[in-house]
Amino acid sequence: MSDMLIRKADKADIQSIYGLVKELAIFEKEPDALTIGIIEYLEAFQEGLIDSIVAVNGKEIIGIALFYMTFSTWKGKCLYLEDFYIKPEYRREGLGQRLFDALLEEAKVRKATQVKWQVLDWNETGLNFYYKNNAIIEKNWWNGKLYLT
């Protein structure tokens, strides 16, 4: 796995990032939940709303950490990890850790005081990965949302 490249994404990577988000939606048993298209991804990336770090094998993007900055009124700058995904055939070889470490480094560069994300309660592999990284998994906050369209 040491020959895998971890780098910041650029505009040319958006199609591959979108494809991996589709794979993630299937993994999370929500294939129909992805309702926006590549155009919205390109616009969000170009506007600086989203950013990503990618794992690359040759010319193929095989993993993503898609994130954006937000603000906690209690803690200050926060990097929010929206999607973290490695193609299944590349898991368990340390690539996820390298990608996660690059994300944490990006958070430090951006002077974030914390990194936040969500993980599904049934995703034991994901939970174990985060626990291994000394993450705090909160179970006392409920998610809220409203769809406007």
Fold of 5-132: Aminopeptidase (3.40.630)
CA dist list (Å): 127 to 43, 99, 122: 32, 16, 8
Per-residue pLDDT tens over the stretch 18-27: 999 999 999 9
Active site residues: 130
Residue 2 has pLDDT above 60, yes or no: no
Structure tokens at 20: 């991996």
Identify the CA nearest to 99 among candidates 56, 65, 137: 65
Report pLDDT digits (tens) over 95-141.
999 999 999 999 999 999 999 999 999 999 999 999 999 999 999 98
Domain limits, the chain: 5-132
Percentage of the chain exceeding pLDDT 90: 91
